[in-house]
Amino acid sequence: MAKTWKDKDISLDPLKDQTIAVIGYGIQGDAQSNNMKDSGLNIIVGLKKGGNSWKKAESDGHKVMSVSDACKKADIIHVLLPDMIQSEVYKSEIGPNLSKGKALSFSHAAAIHWKWIDAPKDIDIIMVAPKGPGSKVRETYLENFGTPSIVAVHQDFTGKAWDRTLGIAKAIGSARAGLIQTTFKEEVETDWFGEQADLCGGAASMIQASFETLVEAGYQPEIAYFEVLHELKLIVDMIQRYGINGMWRRVSETARYGGLTRGPMVITSESKDNMKKVLKMIQDGTFNKEWIDEYQKHGKDSFDKYMKETEAHQIEKVGKQMRKMMWPDSTE
């Protein structure tokens, strides 16, 4: 059974005399910085000079400085940059300003696990990974609750790495919901697998294939959209709140019987074998190498051809019309 913590188990006292530099002010950087500041911690934000986020962070009440200067001043450097630029920024601005006893902190373990960053031995290396987007991390904090996090210590040089890890998790509100201990290896491999096989890749492919099946059989695209995409959120919300069996108890008897008997016809043993192949490619570094090579060649254009194919799909064209009907003031 994994080790867990709740808010009452953790004290912020070990962080009261620490300066935490949050590097990056994207969705997670924004949320986590503001939550930690509101929890009474000493936060500075390190950003690229002249970047779009500088004024935003200042307007939110943060002391903002260059990444190099922030790293010099900080006891804990919390890196919330996009994965693919972490190595470059580390080499140029973070690494040269690391000194004995500091902590290098992340919300995703890829840079350390895959050795994109070769950190020194005389620092702590820690992770607090909220299991939700930054908008939810901030929203739930302001509701006096939180988004759960998984936490790990990769290197405990000072003997205080766990105090630092748990303190950050408490300060961003995650301990209110609950913390679960993991490892850097487990976080990376399960996170990437979930994205590829289930949450993003698997779910999107299943939705498109279901839509195509109905439309090719002569059903109206608008009706197919409602049935295979729009209503999916209702089911996912029930599964998240009540579990899979709880969902079965809350749908109609026809849906329950049909789903229980036909679901295994759609997601077959062959599907699971392919999931195992996906996982193996993550575990053995195949996907990491492919992704790094692709990004080095094409940068953010690496996924453009796939995005264009998705954008051209009929379900997207129909979906835009349907969403405009339901939410006329929304912009995409």
205 is in an annotated binding site: no
223 is in an annotated binding site: no
306 is in an annotated binding site: no
231 is in an annotated binding site: yes
191 is in an annotated binding site: yes
Q: What is the CA radius of gyration of the chain?
A: 22
202 is in an annotated binding site: no
26 is in an annotated binding site: yes
DSSP result, 126-190: EEEEESS-HHHHHHHHHTT----EEEEEEE-SSS-HHHHHHHHHHHTTHHHH-EEE--HHHHHHH
134 is in an annotated binding site: yes
Q: Which residues contact 41 (CB under 8 A, 6 or more apart)?
A: 12, 15, 16, 18, 20, 167, 171
The number of C-alpha atoms within 13 Å of 57 and in the hemisphere containing its C-beta is: 30
Catalytic-residue membership of 298 = no
90 is in an annotated binding site: no
CB-CB neighbours of 323 under 10 Å: 14
Tokens 């998705």 map to which residue? 310
One of 62, 108, 113, 154 is an active-site residue; which one? 108
196 is in an annotated binding site: no
55-67 in b/e burial notation, b at 16+ Cβ within 10 A? Answer: eebeeeebebbeb
Closest C-alpha to 29, from 2, 54, 1: 54
**Residue list for the binding site for NADP(+):** 25-28, 48, 53, 134
**Residue list for the binding site:** 25-28, 48, 53, 134, 191, 195, 227, 231, 252
**Residue list for the binding site for substrate:** 252
**Residue list for the binding site for Mg(2+):** 191, 195, 227, 231
Catalytic machinery residues:
108
